[in-house]
Structure 1
């Protein structure tokens, strides 16, 4: 058989993709205030990019406590559900497929989002990180994250319930599935890593105990939408934000086997995308392929050539592109034709209006 390419169709779980160019989740902070409500402008933005094989929405907080950046959308109010319904209708009308990324930032937050209280985490350890906050003057800036407070056992269970309710609301909003954000130092990821999880109860210590919260969230979401409509994003090789952990690879491979047993549709690996970033070892890619029976997606500064290589090598089934989709709403066709890509205006990435958001042209 001929090896698949980036433009080969793909079926996995409940998803059927016409090709393997996926739109990565990207925070753009364009919601209506107050309430972090998705808007008609956002519906237009996503519909413009509906030619993606699959759209993974921007990270969306499951509760008010889950917020860590200004103007990011939620999925915990009736108004937010109605706003997202406008988005999914627009994407589906344009022939696209879209899943909602479920997000709790954990310690990657600030008291301004927590009614003056400290953010929450598995342990009271501050991240080496900043979050984007818009002040009363309407201007945004990066602010250091403070020391969080450790969650109690009842609070952990309440957050699991928040994930369950968020999945219910995502289904009501018309999404084709959900992606659980378990990467990049946010709440689930901070439970997985020994550097940020120093608990001595049932949620900390051994790898299995650090995985417990993650599995409870996955089970809660599966119970709502079914495993064939669930994906998970992880980032085992990214150590920014104080997330180094010597056994993270072993943790990820164990989780991959368990998620495969649960029937999860896909695993989405967020890889480092800076110039001198460490390469993902081929041995790890091989081990993941053996451990996980669903589809495997990758993201992290991929070019057309690198994307073709990782798919034809059998290490991934689809590739997610982030910033290239910002200035190139018809990115799959541009990649197929190998035409030069437009460059996004970085000054309009977060917040603002249609400028740098929905005003990028398609190819002629």
Structure 2
């Protein structure tokens, strides 16, 4: 058997990726009027098209799904057209690109909700978290619990956004089931105290994520559908329980049965320690038999080690891609990595977005 390396071409569904390095989704808060991706976004993503796969910043499936200022949507004709400029630019550079589809649920603020309404959640439990609105970080608003009759509309918004993604030229979509947003909120005992078909048991708490993923896969094909999860991350006010292993083992089994093309796993605390909370990530790998995409705290050495052991198939790098548009080349040659400027990560224009130089410059 040929040993896997980060720099090998590989198959992902019907796609051939140039390497096993994935650009992780990174919120940048630079959408224009109407939450349309800017022309700068096309430049930004095209600069990073040497990644085997780009996964875009999280993108709203509806107006209700928004939680932060200036994050893009994929539910209006203008947004679809804006994203088409991005996908065309990436494809022109030989890249592949999926869009991450997002509903923030309770991690929102009334100032970005239609009509100033309360954000929605599985249960009316406020997250101990902040969001970025009006150019400042503020506490999230008090949510209201979704009524049973509203849940089919949530599923439909993901299905329609997936269809829109294909119209916009994306190679596929990633369902965002991680980092404390709506689908993750349903998975958690500490955020979901429902007593109906969407709460209580492991199976019930997973129901919405599975229904959304099934709808997306039916719409665009399982071979173009991925899912992201973060089993023990405390992101966005999530408090992991003692039962996350059973919950996410079940999720992995159900997603495997749907035949989706990859499972994207945040191993540990998002952007933090990989081992702060005990969890057997290899158990997910055993249960999910398609492509396993690992994320969080990976270096080249760790990625190569995990590939050699057969524990992962693809590795996603996040923050390193912000300051290093040519990250693939830097990893391959061992060149030093540029450091990102935290002051320009969220919002603004070209500064700290498209002006990080490649080594060749």
| Equivalence map 1:149-298=2 (5 Å) | 149-240=144-235, 241-271=237-267, 272=269, 276-278=273-275, 284-298=280-294
CA-CA distance at 1:214 after TM superposition: 1.1
Aligned equivalents of 2:254, 2:146: Cα separation in 1: 25
Aligned to 2:31: 31
Q: Is the deviation greater in 146-155 or in 44-53?
A: 146-155
CA-CA distance at 1:222 after TM superposition: 0.8
Moved over 4 A (4+): 273-277
Aligned equivalents of 1:10, 1:123: Cα separation in 2: 42
- 2:356 aligned with 1:357: no
Aligned to 1:334: 330
CA-CA distance at 1:146 after TM superposition: 2.3
Q: Is the deviation greater in 207-216 or in 180-189?
A: 207-216
User: Can you list the C-alpha shifts for 1:184-242, whole angstroms capped at 9, x where unaligned?
Assistant: 10000000111101001111111111111111101110111100100000000213413
Aligned equivalents of 2:238, 2:302: Cα separation in 1: 29
CA contact (8 A) 2:187 2:206 kept: yes
CA-CA distance at 1:246 after TM superposition: 2.1
Task: List alignment gaps of at least 5 residues for structure 2.
Answer: none
Q: How many residues align?
A: 357
CA contact (8 A) 2:274 2:297 kept: no
Aligned to 1:107: 106
Aligned equivalents of 1:323, 1:53: Cα separation in 2: 16
CA-CA distance at 1:275 after TM superposition: 5.5
Aligned equivalents of 2:191, 2:276: Cα separation in 1: 24
Residue aligned with 1:6, SS? coil
CA-CA distance at 1:276 after TM superposition: 4.7
Aligned to 2:6: 6
Aligned to 1:93: 92
Aligned equivalents of 1:169, 1:131: Cα separation in 2: 27
CA RMSD in angstroms, aligned pairs only: 1.4
